C-alpha cells in the first residue's frame, strides 16, 4: 500500500523554571494514499482532447470561411470576424446545453440551435472547398466540425445523469420558485424607481417659488418676501390672509390660526402680521 508523509503541528506543554506554557511542536506521520481515480483521469483527459479539438476547429473554420468571405469583402478583418461567428455560434449553444443538462425541456432549444449553427458552419466550409477547387479539403474541414460537436454531445450525455420523473418535477418546482423570487425582486426594484420618480414629480408640481413682492408693499429686504411655498390647492399665505381679512378676522393670533388651517401647515405669525399690516394700510 502506498503512503505519504504529512507534517502536523500540535500544542504541547513545556516547562521552564517552573512555568509551563503551551508551545508548537511538529511531528510527522504516514497516511495511506487513496487509489487512483481512473474514471476521473479518463474523463479529464477526454474533456481535454475535446477542448483541444474545439480549438483546432475554431481556427480551421474561421480561416476557411474567412477566406471565402474575403472574395466578396475587401476588409479581411471584417471577413474573418464574421467567419468566427459561424463556429462560435454552435460552441455557445453547447455551453447552454451544459448549463441545462439536468432539464430535458430546457436543453432542447440550445441543442437545436447548435445543430442549425453547425449545419451553416459545415456548409460554408464545404462551399469554400468547392470555390477553391478543393472540395475534398472542404468536406474534411466540415467533418472536423461535426466530429467536435458529436464528441461534446457524448461528453454531455455522460455527465447529465437522468432524473426520475418525480425528482425532475421537484427540481422544476424549486427552479420556478427561485425564478419567481428573482422576477419579483426585479419588479419591486422597477416599482420603487417609478414611485420615487412619481413622488419627485408631484413634489415639484406642488412646490413653487413666489415671484417676489406684490402690490401690497412687501419689503424686498425681509426674509419672508422672497419665497412663499404653495399648498396643494394653490393658495398662498397672502391669499389665506386676504381671505381671513375679508371674513372679518383682524387679530394676529386669530388670523394665524385661520391661515394655518387653510394652508394645512403652521404659518409664520410674523408673515401673517406683515400681510395684515399691509391690508390695513391699503384699507
Q: What is the band of 275 on the pLDDT scale with cuts at 50, 70, 90?
A: confident
One-letter-per-residue 3-state SS of 10-70: EEEEEEECCEEEEEEEEEEEEEECCCCCHHHHHHHHHHHHHHHHHHHHHHHHHHHHHHHHC
Contact yes or no for 61/121 (Cβ under 8 A): yes
Tell me the pLDDT band of 277, cut-offs 50, 70 and 90.
confident
Q: Which of 140-154, 183-197, 241-255 has the lowest mean pLDDT?
A: 241-255
Residue 215 has what pLDDT? Answer: 41
DSSP 232: T
Question: What confidence tens digit (pLDDT) does each residue in 21-74 have?
Answer: 999 988 888 888 888 888 889 988 988 998 998 899 999 999 999 999 988 888
The pLDDT value given to residue 143: 92
201-241 pLDDT, tens per residue?
Answer: 877 777 544 444 444 444 444 444 443 444 445 568 888 88
Contact (CB, 8 A) for 88 and 58: yes
| Other C-beta atoms lying within 10 Å of the C-beta of residue 206 | 13
Mean pLDDT for 64-89 is: 89
Task: Specify the pLDDT at position 217.
Answer: 42
Could you tell me the three cell numbers for 201?
Answer: 414629480
Amino acid at each position: 500500500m502506498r503512503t505519504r508523509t504529512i507534517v502536523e503541528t500540535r500544542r504541547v506543554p513545556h516547562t521552564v523554571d517552573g512555568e509551563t506554557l503551551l508551545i508548537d511542536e511538529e511531528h510527522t506521520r504516514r497516511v495511506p494514499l487513496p487509489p487512483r481515480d481512473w474514471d476521473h483521469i479518463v474523463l479529464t483527459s477526454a474533456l481535454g482532447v475535446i477542448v483541444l479539438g474545439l480549438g483546432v476547429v475554431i481556427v480551421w473554420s474561421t480561416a476557411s470561411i474567412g477566406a471565402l468571405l474575403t472574395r466578396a469583402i475587401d476588409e479581411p478583418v471584417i471577413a474573418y470576424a464574421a467567419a468566427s461567428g459561424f463556429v462560435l455560434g454552435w460552441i455557445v449553444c453547447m455551453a447552454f446545453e451544459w448549463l441545462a443538462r439536468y432539464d430535458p425541456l430546457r436543453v432542447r432549444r440550445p441543442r437545436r440551435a447548435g445543430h442549425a449553427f453547425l449545419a451553416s458552419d459545415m456548409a460554408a466550409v464545404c462551399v469554400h472547398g468547392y470555390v477553391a477547387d478543393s472540395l475534398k479539403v472542404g468536406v474534411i474541414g466540415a467533418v472536423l466540425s461535426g466530429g467536435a460537436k458529436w464528441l461534446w454531445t457524448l461528453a454531455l450525455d455522460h455527465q447529465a445523469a437522468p432524473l426520475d420523473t418525480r425528482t425532475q418535477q421537484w427540481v422544476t418546482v424549486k427552479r420556478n420558485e427561485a425564478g419567481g423570487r428573482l422576477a419579483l425582486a426585479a419588479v419591486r426594484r422597477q416599482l420603487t424607481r417609478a414611485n420615487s420618480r412619481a413622488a419627485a414629480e408631484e413634489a415639484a408640481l406642488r412646490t413653487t417659488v413666489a415671484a417676489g413682492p406684490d402690490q401690497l408693499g412687501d419689503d424686498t429686504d425681509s426674509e419672508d418676501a422672497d419665497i412663499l411655498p404653495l399648498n396643494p390647492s394653490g393658495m398662498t399665505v397672502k391669499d389665506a390672509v386676504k381671505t381671513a381679512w375679508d371674513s372679518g378676522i383682524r387679530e394676529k393670533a386669530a388670523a394665524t390660526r385661520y391661515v394655518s388651517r387653510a394652508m394645512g401647515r403652521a404659518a409664520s405669525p410674523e408673515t401673517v402680521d406683515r400681510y395684515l399690516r399691509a391690508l390695513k394700510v391699503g384699507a
